[in-house]
Amino acid sequence: MTRIKVMVVDDSAVVRQVVSSLLQADPAIEVLCAVGDPLQAMARMATQWPDVIVLDIEMPRMDGITFLKKIMAERPTPVVICSTLTEKGAQTSLAALSAGAVAIITKPKLGLKQFLTDASDDLLSAVKSAARARVGQLRPMPRHSADAVLPAVDAAGAMIRTTDRVVALGTSTGGTQALERVLTRLPRVCPGIVIVQHMPEKFTAEFAHRLDGLCQIDVHEAQHNERVIPGLALIAPGGRHMLLRRNGAQYHVEVRDGPLVNRHRPSVDVLFRSVAACAGANALGVIMTGMGDDGAAGLLEMRQAGARTLAQDEASCVVFGMPKVAIERGGVERTVPLDAIAREIMQVSLHAP
């Protein structure tokens, strides 16, 4: 079996040592080298190119974002970001995801060695998932208004028809770019949207803020008891589950702690199950690019409750894991390309359940 060739780029000698040891202990992985900055990495890549790069952001001589952009321009390669869990780190790591990185592993400022050892399963899963990812799949979208997708909808009529409508999106690896492609295409009269994107704590607030600046619709990190209304997308906070609740004719979200579900918190299955229970045929469920099977069971429950259900197609996924399992389990009504998902969301607002 051909092993996954990995390069570690980090200015911390401790990180290089610990990460290399953890990766090398897996028989499916070979660590080509561990270097202290991008210039050293480029010198080594001149003779042997890795399958996956584990990359820090803040480094001497060249920062990780600049290095990542050079890689993606020259030869797109799966990159796993290993970043400090701070607000500043969240911003730069999101910039890395936007530039094409496929996953984030967070590292604290203190207790680093023990943390990385404890997080070894996540690190190994991220590297193996990255090795299967089709990087470069999502190229920058041309800057068009929503008119390029569909004509404007009468605001008053749309609000009446979509009062009880909810769209639930679930995604993981590759989802940051995919969600941007979808949400930036939506007009302000779209149905209320609830989203689970697998992402660490502290990253979701910055991710939502970034999307809010790009989209016509409002995008927030969800707050407990916040209303789900047309023209608003709520993103589940990292490290907490998000559920849909109904009070009369109004929907709101519940944000709560709880155990990991399918090794995730927030979990797509938790959100989809709550949508099945509260919204039923008034909902649309969409499962998008990502590794694993989170969301497959919940999407099936949504379909059984009368909801419309979609999966992003294989050709447009960075990792065709979550959609594939959902299809196999019977939860998917149709598969559609990424660039058709916004149009499908708007169709929900135009037809009665």
| Cα gap 229→182, rounded to integer Å | 18
Output Rg (C-alpha) for the chain, integer angstroms: 20
Q: Give me 182's structure tokens.
A: 């979808």
Give me the sheet containing 241-247, strands edge to edge. 227-228, 250-256, 241-247
What contacts 40, CB < 8 A, 6 or more positions away?
9
Q: Give me 26's structure tokens.
A: 């897996």
Hey, CA dihedral for 13, 14, 20, 25, is it positive or negative? positive
| Cα gap 92→320, rounded to integer Å | 26
Please tell me which residue in 83, 172, 274, 316 is annotated as part of the active site: 172
118 noted as active-site residue: no
Q: What is the dihedral of CA 314, 316, 321, 326, to 10 degrees?
A: -60
218 noted as active-site residue: no
51 noted as active-site residue: no
Please tell me which residue in 37, 129, 164, 198 is annotated as part of the active site: 198
Please tell me which residue in 10, 129, 294, 349 is annotated as part of the active site: 294
| Cα gap 37→49, rounded to integer Å | 16
Residues labelled as active-site residues: 172, 198, 294
